[in-house]
């Protein structure tokens, strides 16, 4: 199954490709963007290798990364959203997002994540989706909570403390029925 594209009120989400490489690397080079995410952001070769590997990886049917672009300016890269095995190995499936600083505070992360979360539960019929978030990352915690994810447990990622948020398909269906 190829990754579908999504359209929301203000956004276009397309499967991420190598054409997005420069935009992704540029975004990650902003220390405010990657402040809460361990990674090779300051080593250009390792960073490029990491992002290329993520773009080229096959994470399974219906799983992967989507680039987020504004409908009003489709050339403008706002960031990406992912639905992949946690830490690229699983077994849990993780939803995550990263946006350029100029796209913060506009509700884009929540808007982009909504159809991806629906895809996870309605199309892929996943039982649960998680989001591991650094405890100090208040903006991402707010996005997770707006989406209906709740904190499941404390965990670590690359020896850093993280909080694992999750949502079950039953909770998603209950939330959808209320709307």
Look up the CATH number of the domain holding residue 77: 3.40.630.30
- Domain assignment present for residue 164? The answer is yes
H-assigned helices in the chain: 21-28, 44-56, 108-118, 138-147, 169-178
Confidence band for 156, pLDDT divided at 50, 70 and 90: low
Give the residue from 97, 100, 109, 77 showing the smallest Cα distance to 29: 100
> Considering the entire predicted model, what is its pTM?
0.92
Is residue 157 in some structural domain? yes
Residue 127 in any domain: the answer is yes
Residue 121 domain-assigned (yes or no): yes
What pLDDT is attached to residue 1?
A: 74
Identify whether 1 is part of a domain.
no
Residue 157: per-residue pLDDT: 64
Q: What is the tens place of the pLDDT at every residue in 29-49?
A: 999 999 998 899 999 999 999
Structural domain span for residue 153: 6-178
Residue with tokens 């209320």: 178
Task: Please give the tally of structural domains in the chain.
Answer: 1
């Amino acid at each position: 199954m190829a990754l579908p594209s999504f359209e929301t009120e203000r956004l276009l989400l397309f499967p991420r490709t190598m054409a997005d490489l420069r935009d992704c690397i540029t975004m990650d080079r902003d220390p405010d963007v990657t402040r809460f995410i361990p990674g090779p952001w300051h080593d250009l070769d390792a960073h490029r290798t990491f992002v290329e590997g993520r773009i080229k990886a096959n994470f399974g049917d219906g799983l992967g990364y989507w680039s987020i672009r504004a409908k009003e300016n489709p050339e403008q890269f706002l960031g990406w959203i992912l639905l992949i095995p946690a830490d690229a190995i699983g077994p849990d499936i993780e939803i995550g997002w990263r946006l350029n600083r100029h796209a913060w505070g506009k509700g884009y992360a929540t808007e982009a994540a909504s159809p991806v979360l629906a895809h996870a539960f309605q199309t892929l019929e996943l039982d649960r989706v998680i989001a591991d978030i650094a405890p100090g990352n208040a903006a991402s915690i707010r996005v997770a909570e707006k989406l209906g994810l709740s904190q499941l447990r404390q965990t670590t990622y690359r020896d850093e403390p993280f909080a694992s948020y999750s949502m079950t398909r039953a909770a998603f269906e209950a939330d959808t029925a209320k709307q």
